[in-house]
């Protein structure tokens, strides 16, 4: 029975990592659709979201089946609970990537303007956080997970500055309102993706150390004092 459970857990690990890779690529392509003003890339990201939704449902059912059949305990139980939560966060990241792609599709039909904030820098941070959170999952690296948690504060600060910059741009160029608002939405979606990447990192800490890191519970997830 124990060997069968371990085989099921290994299969589960491969599935969550595969889903993570698909979601990471979806985000990368959504950002590319914005920067290259490419409606075709945006459409592909939007279509991929339905596939990711189905994968999320399948993976959740697999987790529930293992819980019912094997009644795991200790680290195996923590792993399955963490996978359930990470699965949900990955699905939400894919939804947000699709939202970005929808804005990219709209912007591809509008006049090109100078973006009033560092979209590339914000996108790079969000993608780096997702990549590092998945690497932490692959390697069960709590230290890397804490680095992701610490980076979230930087993204929040960039997002706050971005709002001020967009408001100034709207006042200076009200004729660009219909173009600037989608950029505002893109930034907000990237900030939320960073939040979900942080959730994944916190789940890795829970999985490896049994510490609930969210909302300041347990020890400081960033490792700071």
Task: Give the pLDDT confidence of 87-106 residue by residue, as tens digits.
Answer: 999 999 999 999 999 999 99
- Are 56 and 90 spatial neighbours (Cβ–Cβ below 8 Å)? yes
Question: Which CATH number do you get for residue 154?
Answer: 1.20.58.220
- The string of pLDDT tens digits covering residues 123-161 is 999 999 999 999 999 888 999 999 999 999 888 888 888
Domain extent for 182: 2-216
* CA separation for the pair 181, 64 (Å, rounded): 41
* Residue 225 forms part of a structural domain: no
* Residue 73 forms part of a structural domain: yes
Q: What is the pLDDT of residue 101?
A: 97
- Are 49 and 94 spatial neighbours (Cβ–Cβ below 8 Å)? yes
Count up the domains in the chain and report the number: 1
Query: What band does 211 get if pLDDT is binned at 50, 70 and 90?
Result: confident
* Residue 221 forms part of a structural domain: no
* Residue 22 forms part of a structural domain: yes
* Residue 190 forms part of a structural domain: yes
Q: How far is CA 193 from CA 158, 209, 225, in A?
A: 14, 24, 26
> Of the given ranges (3-7, 23-27, 48-52, 212-216), which has the lowest mean pLDDT?
212-216
Residue 162 neighbours by CB distance under 10 Å: 24
* For residue 218, pLDDT beyond 80: no
- Are 95 and 104 spatial neighbours (Cβ–Cβ below 8 Å)? no
* Residue 129 forms part of a structural domain: yes
* Residue 223 forms part of a structural domain: no
Residue 77 neighbours by CB distance under 10 Å: 14
Nearest-5° Cα angle at 178, 176 to 182: 110
pTM: 0.89
* Residue 169 forms part of a structural domain: yes
């Amino acid at each position: 029975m124990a060997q069968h459970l371990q085989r099921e857990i290994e299969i589960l690990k491969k599935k969550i990592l595969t889903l993570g890779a698909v979601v990471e690529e979806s985000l990368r392509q959504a950002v590319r659709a914005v920067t290259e003003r490419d409606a075709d890339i945006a459409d592909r990201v939007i279509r991929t979201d339905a596939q990711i939704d189905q994968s999320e449902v399948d993976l959740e059912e697999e987790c529930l089946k293992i819980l019912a059949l094997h009644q795991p305990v200790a680290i195996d139980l923590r792993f399955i609970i963490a996978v359930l939560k990470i699965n949900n966060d990955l699905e939400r990241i894919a939804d947000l990537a699709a939202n970005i792609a929808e804005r990219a599709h709209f912007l591809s039909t509008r006049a090109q303007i100078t973006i009033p904030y560092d979209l590339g820098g914000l996108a790079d941070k969000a993608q780096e956080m997702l990549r590092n959170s998945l690497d932490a999952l692959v390697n069960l690296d709590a230290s890397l997970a804490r680095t992701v948690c610490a980076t979230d504060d930087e993204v929040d600060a960039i997002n706050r500055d971005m709002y001020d910059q967009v408001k100034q741009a709207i006042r200076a160029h009200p004729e660009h309102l219909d173009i600037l608002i989608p950029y505002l939405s893109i930034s907000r979606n990237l900030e939320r993706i960073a939040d979900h990447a942080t959730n994944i990192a916190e789940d890795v800490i829970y999985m490896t150390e049994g510490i609930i890191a969210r909302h300041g519970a347990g020890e400081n997830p960033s490792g700071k004092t």
